Structure 1
Amino acid sequence: MQIVKYLKQYRIPFSGLASGKHNFEFEIDNAFFDCYEHSLIKKGKLKADVELQKQENMLIVNFHIYGVIQLTCDVCLAEFEAPLDFHERALVKFTEEDWAEETEEVMVLSKTDYELDIANLLYEYVNVRVPYYSKCSEQGVNLSCDPDMLAKLSAEAPDAKTEQTEEKIDPRWDILKNIKNN
């Protein structure tokens, strides 16, 4: 129940707005990401500037989302802040009939709806920006991987590889190598 209450702040009541452009600001923080159990992001501090253009039969919603998200480096396992700054757009159409042709960019609302819930849109837009492979030196600002952790990883890696290669060598391959040398 707390999650639903928290996400209510990401609703835009458009029914009383005049036609034209209207601006809104939303904060996206750790509590926002906590509302989504399987979120790739657990920590972040972002701001969403939302411009809603109200027309008679539709809404045009432009998003400018910027700030930082917390990522874990896939190389050294250190947590670091990665900056985000991007723009997105969503179109909202009003219809009285059942219209099942909703797409990624076009949402459908009933003519009786009076507010637009953008929480899921914000969640999707931010999570899509999470890189498949996080690395301090690539997504972070003026960062490099933890040298102590890299030293530990490189010290352990060669031993494991040599043990695996020694175990995997089949004696029949040695005989075949001798044939090649003749």
Structure 2
Amino acid sequence: MKNLRTFEIPFVGLKQGTHQFEHHVDDAFFETFEYAEFNSADLQVTTMLEKKSTLLEFGFQVSGTVNVNCDLTNEPFDLPIEGSLKLIVKFGEEFNDENDEILIIPHGEHKVQVAQYIYEMIVLSTPTKRVHPGIADGTLKSELLEKLEELQPKEVQDDTEETDPRWDTLKKLLTDK
């Protein structure tokens, strides 16, 4: 958790209004959460804090790329990530993070740890199906793709299919209007 100290936002000395914080997210961040879905990560997170007299409003924006393996070919590629998240921090008697959008912290706190929210925003911003862009435009050449193409079922064109003459007569009724 030592790596996550940079994701603590102290709000006690800040004036009321909007404040901006920048964070760089890389592989070490995800290692802290023991998340191994990404080969590598290079993400920028912008945190906007609007301090009000009774609450704090956070707005998180993430952009960058993560290197993942394609679900079809297992080829690594850089996947662009864009995402956002809003969080409201209120003050109460005890810590409560049961609600996804509202965090309640004790009155005596002077900082907010936002690493968990940034982690969840990034993970939820990645698509569930990760397909290499070279598959869609046909530029990716892979042994696995060639094998899938070879094993794909072939369409059989059979024009000699005989139909029941009773059905042909009924089909004529549909067109006779």
Q: TM-score range by the shorter chain?
A: 0.7 to 0.9
Correspondence for 1:112? 108
- Write the distance in 1 (CA, Å) between the matches of 2:97 and 2:6: 28
Q: Report sequence identity in percent.
A: 25
Letter paired with 2:42? K
Letter paired with 2:107? K
Correspondence for 2:144? 149
- Write the distance in 1 (CA, Å) between the matches of 2:138 and 2:23: 29
**What is the CA-CA distance between 1:100 and the residue it aligns to?**
4.8
Q: Work out whether residues 23 and 52 of structure 1, in 8 Å CA contact, stay in contact via their aligned partners in 2.
A: yes
- Write the distance in 2 (CA, Å) between the matches of 1:20 and 1:83: 32
Change in Cα spacing, 1:139 to 1:103, as seen in structure 2 (3 Å) is farther
Larger radius of gyration: 2
Correspondence for 2:122? 126
**What is the CA-CA distance between 1:144 and the residue it aligns to?**
4.9
Instruction: Report SS of the residue matched to 1:9.
Output: helix
Query: Which of residues 44, 47, 51 is equivalent to 1:54?
Result: 51
Correspondence for 2:6? 9
- Write the distance in 2 (CA, Å) between the matches of 1:146 and 1:32: 33
TM-score norm. by structure 1 comes to 0.74
1:1-182 matches, cutoff 5 A: 4-95=1-92, 97-98=93-94, 100=96, 102-137=98-133, 144-155=139-150, 157=151
> Any gaps of 5 or more consecutive residues in structure 2?
154-177
Q: Work out whether residues 76 and 145 of structure 1, in 8 Å CA contact, stay in contact via their aligned partners in 2.
A: no
Letter paired with 2:102? V
Change in Cα spacing, 1:99 to 1:31, as seen in structure 2 (3 Å) is closer
Q: Work out whether residues 33 and 43 of structure 1, in 8 Å CA contact, stay in contact via their aligned partners in 2.
A: no
Letter paired with 1:65? V
**What is the CA-CA distance between 1:149 and the residue it aligns to?**
2.8
Q: Work out whether residues 70 and 79 of structure 1, in 8 Å CA contact, stay in contact via their aligned partners in 2.
A: yes
**What is the CA-CA distance between 1:139 and the residue it aligns to?**
10
User: Considering only aligned residues, what root-mean-square deviation do their CA atoms show, in Å?
Assistant: 2.5
- Write the distance in 1 (CA, Å) between the matches of 2:69 and 2:6: 29
**What is the CA-CA distance between 1:31 and the residue it aligns to?**
1.1
Instruction: Report SS of the residue matched to 1:37.
Output: coil
**What is the CA-CA distance between 1:54 and the residue it aligns to?**
0.6
TM-score norm. by structure 2 comes to 0.76
Correspondence for 1:165? none
Q: Work out whether residues 30 and 36 of structure 2, in 8 Å CA contact, stay in contact via their aligned partners in 1.
A: yes
**What is the CA-CA distance between 1:137 and the residue it aligns to?**
2.3
